[in-house]
């Protein structure tokens, strides 16, 4: 089944004119030939289930979520927004097909790990084990009173997440003290990227871009990004469409 590529997605870069099936064939061959493959994922892998791109949130919402004083001042409003935008789509719609296929590739020994700028923890929920959450994730949450940490279930199971020991509000790692990079995750990301022979970029627009110079790069993204020129193969399609075909070929 060939999938037509929209004319506005065709550019001069070699490879983009091929139909999707041919491109997925090529990706599949590159996967087979690579001894060390790493996926780099960004917002585009999670937007199909309604999770917004953090970088495109309205300013007022981003400011509120980035300020813990707002959490303390109006926890109902703060967590209402966090549930609506992030936690509810995570629990109701779960990982996407792309997340699940990436987890299956790791289990099959075809993927070393994932570097992601997403904070939604969906790779781990899909079963991926080696994940560098470079901006932290919703799976680490701090009690603002005692500092104990809690997993994602403490967030998703409570309308207003609080510490069972002392009732303190829980602040989630990606928003705690404003956006910051996780040092252990960055170390893991560096290790994965240094040994990568193939990097599959999925829905990322470049907030992490530290690729090694020799790795082959396949980009899966409906839109043009800063990775276009670095990529050996640009697949201009939705990631779930690509991974559905890839899963069919490698099953
Ligand atoms: Zn506490």
Mean pLDDT of 13-37: 85
Band (pLDDT 50/70/90 cuts) for residue 251 is low
pLDDT for 43 beyond 90 = yes
* CA 166 to ligand 1 centroid distance, Å: 5
> How much is the pLDDT for 72?
93
Name all domains of the chain by residue range, CATH numbers in brackets. Answer: 15-250 (3.40.50.1220)
* CA 146 to ligand 1 centroid distance, Å: 4
pLDDT in tens, 150-181: 999 999 999 999 999 999 999 999 887 766 78
pLDDT for 115 beyond 90 = yes
* CA 134 to ligand 1 centroid distance, Å: 25
* CA 131 to ligand 1 centroid distance, Å: 27
> How much is the pLDDT for 179?
63
Contact 230, 69 (CB under 8 A): no
Q: Which of 77, 103, 99 is nearest to 90 (CA)?
A: 99
Q: How far is C-alpha 188 from the geometric centre of its chain's CA atoms? A: 15
Q: Which of 44, 56, 28 is nearest to 225 (CA)?
A: 44
* CA 142 to ligand 1 centroid distance, Å: 8
Percentage of the chain exceeding pLDDT 70: 91
> How much is the pLDDT for 9?
41
* CA 162 to ligand 1 centroid distance, Å: 8
* CA 173 to ligand 1 centroid distance, Å: 15
pLDDT for 15 beyond 60 = no
pLDDT for 87 beyond 60 = yes
* CA 167 to ligand 1 centroid distance, Å: 6
Please say whether the dihedral angle defined by the alpha carbons of residues 39, 40, 44 and 47, taken in this order, is positive or negative. Answer: positive
> How much is the pLDDT for 66?
84
pTM (predicted TM-score): 0.89
pLDDT for 121 beyond 70 = yes
* CA 169 to ligand 1 centroid distance, Å: 8
* CA 148 to ligand 1 centroid distance, Å: 6
Mean per-residue pLDDT over the chain, rounded: 90
pLDDT for 97 beyond 90 = yes
d(CA 251, CA 246): 8
d(CA 74, CA 157): 19
pLDDT in tens, 199-231: 999 999 888 889 999 999 999 999 999 999 999
Mean pLDDT of 125-144: 96
User: Interhelix angle for 239-250 vs 97-107, to 10°?
Assistant: 40
> How much is the pLDDT for 142?
95
């Amino acid at each position: 089944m060939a999938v037509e590529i929209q004319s506005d997605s065709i550019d001069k870069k070699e490879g983009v004119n091929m139909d999707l099936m041919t491109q997925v064939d090529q990706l599949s061959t590159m996967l087979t030939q690579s001894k060390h493959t790493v996926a780099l994922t960004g917002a585009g892998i999670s937007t199909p289930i309604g999770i917004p791109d953090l970088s495109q949130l309205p300013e007022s919402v981003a400011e509120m979520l980035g300020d813990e004083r707002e959490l303390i001042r109006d926890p109902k409003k703060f967590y209402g927004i966090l549930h609506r935008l992030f936690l509810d789509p995570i629990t109701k719609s779960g990982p996407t097909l792309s997340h699940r296929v990436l987890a299956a590739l790791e289990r099959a020994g075809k993927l070393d790990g994932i570097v992601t700028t997403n904070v939604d923890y969906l790779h781990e929920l899909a079963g991926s084990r080696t994940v560098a959450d470079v901006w932290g994730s919703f799976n680490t949450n701090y009690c603002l009173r005692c500092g104990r940490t809690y997993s994602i279930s403490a967030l998703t199971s409570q309308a207003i997440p609080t510490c069972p020991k002392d009732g303190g509000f829980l602040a989630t790692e990606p928003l705690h003290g404003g956006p910051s990079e996780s040092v252990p995750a960055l170390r893991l990301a560096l290790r994965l990227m240094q040994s990568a022979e193939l990097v599959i970029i999925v829905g990322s627009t470049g907030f992490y871009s530290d690729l090694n110079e020799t790795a082959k790069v396949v980009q899966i993204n409906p839109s043009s990004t800063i990775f276009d020129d670095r990529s050996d193969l640009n697949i201009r399609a939705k990631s779930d469409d690509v991974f559905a075909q890839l899963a069919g070929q490698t099953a």
